[in-house]
Structure 1
């Protein structure tokens, strides 16, 4: 099942994250060295669990945003590298915790840490990485950057709890869902982009522009992820197609299809999501209903909308290779749905 984005909305047919990767390569090499250093411990299991996830092939988009947003304002120094590493550790910790909460077996195509070392080790190593992240933030010596990232950590935790409270509840609204992904995903994108201009001593307008860019990019990113769970391939997702359905997660394709359905179709969703009857036959029916009610295409349309907001946030800034790379990331995130 494919997801089609209208051509007029898909402005960059072959968008790539490569320009950002190339521009941030020297900084990311330093970030990767710092990751290896700070993930080390005399307790053998800590680096084993941490490196299992850290080395599993993620694009490391969030730390690249920190490096790029600092470079956008001509930052010179090493605070951006420390903050980028902090951001990656925060992200890795949330993934370790998420996989325990969601009882996930697969992450980026590999067995999750909890499947290998158990739930307790996954949670505790996640806590270790959060501690290391905050130590690096303190090393930077910017109270503003510390405030932004510590606030993001709190918001992410709130998002996790909120997601638990709406799980398997078919009365969840689109507003409820957006509140969850704003907290769980977009908050860290926003913080990652905002701390760059903070250490670069950018003005308030510059800082707000990058914060808005990150927030809206994060929303677009998560909307596409949630669409891909019903219309992507396991190899692209790094997880099994339909995992959200099996776990009873309420995502936008489900919300739209439920609200637009007939009474009988809504009864199916309640039985599948709330009743836990989510086998392969049920998944196939769910995907059919999502297609029938344009659940995927409308979810992608929402992602395009937030992508445009991210683009508008950067629009007033001077043209540069860094700005162009950040703009292309927006298209890249949305085009994953093709």
Structure 2
């Protein structure tokens, strides 16, 4: 838990360092979400295994399950910032852009948009705010960024499910599998 707490703090610092940085890379983004979100899922799964005196192998598998579940969850959370419904989300669409956070939908869109559109996104990240939100949402969709990020989330969900393959069928395993599906199929 101490390692997880330190890693979460480091992830938050990495995210703060990237605020208003349109040059953040996909690798940097993945490091941030691993550190600030996925490590918490990992620690939860690993701690549950340790409390239940699972073997080292099972503990490692549950830690990997949690890490991949956390990555999938955060990827979908960032998709919903550009493809969600404000009423069902409980937060405003575009909150990350308003704060100048370069999330993967924006990073991917900048890499795949035309020069003028990429520049619009870069400027929006630099200044924060929502002045160009509708145009940016359109760009993110047209560039296939929503599908790209969803596909990455689904891949991490599949990796999480793979970690559970060796466990006996039980209500617990079913619940963990269902949790994985909920994480990537949610719209809130």
Report if TM-score (shorter chain) is over 0.5. yes
- What residue in structure 2 maps to residue 326 of structure 1? 176
CA distance in 1, matches of 2:129, 2:88: 26
Maintained 8 Å contact 1:152/1:188: yes
The match for 1:194 is 46
Matched with 1:259 is 111
Structure 1 unaligned segments of length 5 or more: list them: 1-148
Asked if the contact 2:99/2:129 (under 8 Å) is kept, the reply is: no
CA RMSD, 1 decimal:
1.2
Q: 1:278 aligns with which of 120, 130, 134?
A: 130
Report the counterpart of residue 151 of structure 2 in structure 1: 301
SS in 2 for 1:210: helix
Alpha-carbon separation, structure 2, partners of 1:192 and 1:276: 33
Which of 170, 178, 187 in structure 1 is aligned with 2:22?
A: 170
User: 1:216 aligns to what?
Assistant: 68
Q: Would you say the 8 A contact 2:22–2:102 is kept in 1?
A: yes
3-state secondary structure, aligned to 1:230: helix
- Report the TM-score, using the length of structure 2 for normalisation: 0.96
1:1-45 CA-partner distances (Å, limit 9, x unpaired): xxxxxxxxxxxxxxxxxxxxxxxxxxxxxxxxxxxxxxxxxxxxx
In structure 2, the partner of 1:236 is 88
Decide whether the 8 Å contact of 1:216 with 1:310 is kept in 2.
yes
Looking at structure 1, the residues matched to 176 and 129 of structure 2 have their Cα atoms a distance apart, in angstroms, of 42
User: Which structure has the larger Rg over C-alpha atoms?
Assistant: 1
The answer (yes or no) to whether the contact 2:100–2:129 under 8 Å persists in 1 is no
DSSP 3-state at the match of 2:54 = coil
Q: What residue in structure 2 maps to residue 28 of structure 1?
A: none
C-alpha separation in 2, matches of 1:152 and 1:236: 30
**Map 1:68-147 → 2, pairs under 5 A:** none
Select which of 317, 320, 328 maps to 2:167.
Answer: 317
Q: How many residues align?
A: 188
The CA distance in 2 between the partners of 1:236 and 1:194, in whole Å, is 31
8 Å contact 2:20–2:125 — kept in the other structure?
Answer: yes
Q: How far is 1:277 from its partner?
A: 5.4
Tell me if 1:205 matches 2:96: no
Deviations 1:63-100 (A, max 9, x none): xxxxxxxxxxxxxxxxxxxxxxxxxxxxxxxxxxxxxx
TM-score when normalising by structure 1: 0.54
